[in-house]
Amino acid sequence: MLVTRLDKVGEAAILRETYTVFAALIGWYFLRESVGPYRISLLVLLLGAVIFEFGG
């Protein structure tokens, strides 16, 4: 949250929300949770938002 005072709020918000991607990957890899097409599509959308934010 300190980043919002130092830099652009939009970029900080996008980075803050990437924890869901890492949580899903850790759950899939270490805890052997199932990852269905719905969850994969949501992860792709979130990663697409991150790429869109920092891509240009």
What is the per-residue pLDDT across 6-29, written as a single tens digit (0 to 9) for each?
777 777 777 777 787 788 888 889
Q: What whole-number distance in Å separates Cα of residue 20 and Cα of residue 46?
A: 9
Write a three-state SS string for 1-25.
CCHHHHCCHHHHHHHHCCHHHHHHH
Q: What whole-number distance in Å separates Cα of residue 12 and Cα of residue 24?
A: 20
Write down the domain spans for the chain: 3-55
Q: What whole-number distance in Å separates Cα of residue 45 and Cα of residue 43?
A: 5
What is the pLDDT, as a whole number, of residue 32? 92
- The secondary element (H helix, E strand) that includes residue 28 is helix 19-29
pTM: 0.55
> 9-13, 19-23, 38-42, 43-47: which has the highest mean pLDDT?
38-42
